[in-house]
Amino acid sequence: MIEEKGILFILSGPSGVGKGTVRKALFDKDIGLKYSISMTTRPIRTGEREGTDYFYRSKSEFEDMIQNNKLLEYAEYVGNYYGTPRDYVEQTLESGNDVFLEIEVQGALQVKKNFPEGVFIFLFPPSLEELKNRIVSRGTETEDLVKNRLMAAREEIEMMDAYDYVVVNDKIETAVHKVQSIVRSEHCKRERVAKQYKKILEDDLA
Following DSSP, what letter does each residue of 82-130 receive, concatenated? EEEEHHHHHHHHHTT-EEEEEE-HHHHHHHHHH-TTSEEEEEE-S-HHH
Phi and psi angles of residue 124, each rounded to the nearest 5 degrees, phi first? -110, 140
pLDDT tens digits for 85-124?
999 999 999 999 999 999 999 999 999 999 999 999 999 9
**102 bridge partner residues:** 11
User: For residue 39, what pLDDT is reported?
Assistant: 96
Q: d(Cα 59, Cα 88) in Å, to the nearest integer?
A: 19
% residues pLDDT > 90 (the chain): 66
Higher-pLDDT residue of 169 and 191 is 169
CATH 3.40.50.300 applies to domain 8-36+98-205: yes
Average pLDDT of the chain, as a whole number: 90
DSSP 161: G
- The whole-model pTM stands at 0.86
- Helix 172-187 and helix 19-28, axial crossing angle in degrees, nearest 10: 70
pLDDT of residue 127: 85
Report residue 55's pLDDT band, with 50, 70 and 90 as the boundaries: very high
